[in-house]
Structure 1
Amino acid sequence: MTEKLPAPAAVWEEMLRGNARFVAGEPQHPRQDVERRHKTATLQTPHAALFGCSDSRLSAEIIFDQGLGDLFVVRNAGQVVDDSAVGSLEYAVAVLGVPLIVVLGHDACGAVRAAIDSTAPDAPALPPRIWRQVAPIVPAVRRVQAADGAHAGQVDAEHVGREHLRGTVNELLHSSELISQAVADGALAIAAVNYRLDEGAAVPDFVVGLGDQPAA
């Protein structure tokens, strides 16, 4: 029998509480015992999906103080939307029934830095596969350059990271009818979050599907 999952707002609040515990240095390490391991061996019922950067400092279950089977995690360098990421997230929504997707960017992102540096006139060519990975971030670089009046390669990396995060959510909604329909039906919310490496804080940028109000 499939476990009934809580509503998007309840899951989002629990994610924020978990991160607050992590920031305070008071994690509870919930649902990480032998009983939980046995319970999830034959069935997974995650309460959220997380699409984030592959950066080694962004271990999702740790920074949100979650347990085994709580999060369905999809990661690549720079949280770039591609067929693999979209297909995995659609599986989480359509098959596993998660009510929340957290899209997680962060400061000091190497993929963002590489995208910025690639726009300089004298930038050396990146290896082809690395270039294909960071190329989707370049439009965010260009938008920030235009808005800030900055020269190529000389933009604020955090501004670019935030712009790319917002672009990631928009691209996810536009590229997946399944996900956008779930949001429209009220069955799914998407939270865009910036992670602060030093503080450990997951800072909400905005949430789609909870009245579309900026998160605080």
Structure 2
Amino acid sequence: MSRSASFRSFLLGPILAFGPLAANEVAPAAAPAAPAAAHAEHSDAPVSPAQALQRLVDGNARFASGHAEHPNQTVARRVEVAAGQKPFAVVLTCADSRVAPELYFDQGVGDIFVIRVAGHTLNDHVIGSIEYAVEHLHAAVVVVVGHEKCGAVAAALSSERGEGKIGTLLEAIRPAVRDTRNQAGDKTDNAVRGHARRTAKLIPASSPIVKNAISAGHVKIFAARYDLVSGKVDLLP
């Protein structure tokens, strides 16, 4: 196939084998000393998974420290990407209005391919969207981001069945609830973390396209958690 200290430098290896990144792959992000120039432009050159990770690490450090650059948001950028998109990352996250990947990763128009659904649950449409971004847009990383105080996860912890199609959404989250029910600590946050990890593992298990891209070293997958107050994204081991 043709392929073109909060947020820690862990990459999921081929087929979700966790392991620390080598020091020469990704450097820890340092908080900026002063605000950078507004609306900086970032290159769309093809990136490796490690380079894509570093862009997300750096962007989250800027956002969390209050030094967001708001890159790639100019009129010229809009005109440029109208001809075609080349996102370097896929982010699957919740539909919660407080959780906006372009903001907490400090990215701009055309930088990340975002898929949002309550509880970042998987179905064929979501998996197909990820496959499109990996196979045709050549995104180098896929990040599944759960978040603090997720309402969908909190509802899945209850015994309610949910009205209409809400029940099917809750049932997709409940395996993580069962897996984490005996863990010490906050039950909702434990389930948030467990659900993000489980979703990240299910993506290649459900998609030969993504599985093959991981095996070839073209893409890596993360599970992560976003903190609503601090603005920090933590990768989950």
Band of TM-score, shorter chain: 0.7 to 0.9
In structure 2, what residue type is equivalent to 1:42?
Answer: A
Q: 2:115 aligns with which of 45, 56, 74?
A: 74
Give ranges in structure 2 of 5+ residues lacking alignment: 5-43
| 1:131 equivalenced with 2:162 (yes/no) | no
* C-alpha distance 126-26 of structure 1, shift in aligned 2 (>3 A): same
Deviation at 1:149, TM superposition (A): 8.7
Residue aligned with 1:103, SS: strand
TM-score, L = length of structure 2: 0.79
Contact 2:143 2:223 (8 Å CA) reproduced: yes
Residue aligned with 1:78, SS: helix
* Structure with greater proportional helix content: 1
- The residue aligned with 1:192 is 223
Identity %: 37
* C-alpha distance 4-18 of structure 1, shift in aligned 2 (>3 A): closer
Residue aligned with 2:106, SS: coil
- The residue aligned with 1:114 is 155
| 1:24 equivalenced with 2:65 (yes/no) | yes
Once the two structures are superposed, what CA deviation does each residue of 1:35-87 show, in whole Å capped at 9, x if it has no partner?
Answer: 10100112101111111111111111111000110011111000011111100
* C-alpha distance 26-79 of structure 1, shift in aligned 2 (>3 A): same
Give ranges in structure 1 of 5+ residues lacking alignment: 207-216
Deviation at 1:148, TM superposition (A): 3.5
Deviation at 1:30, TM superposition (A): 0.6
- The residue aligned with 1:211 is none
Residue aligned with 1:40, SS: helix
TM-score, L = length of structure 1: 0.86
Residue aligned with 1:105, SS: strand
- The residue aligned with 1:166 is 197
Q: 2:207 aligns with which of 176, 183, 186?
A: 176
Once the two structures are superposed, what CA deviation does each residue of 1:124-180 show, in whole Å capped at 9, x if it has no partner?
Answer: x410300111111111111122x3499xxxx71000111111110111121011101
In structure 1, what residue type is equivalent to 2:86?
Answer: T
Within 2, Cα distance between the matches of 1:148 and 1:14? Answer: 33
In structure 1, what residue type is equivalent to 2:179?
Answer: R
| 4+ aligned runs moved over 4 Å, structure 1 | none
Within 2, Cα distance between the matches of 1:194 and 1:88? Answer: 21
In structure 2, what residue type is equivalent to 1:35?
Answer: A
Larger RCO of the pair (alpha carbons < 8 Å, separation 6+): 2
For these two proteins, the number of residue pairs brought into alignment is 195
Q: CA RMSD in A?
A: 1.6
Residue aligned with 1:17, SS: helix
In structure 2, what residue type is equivalent to 1:50?
Answer: V
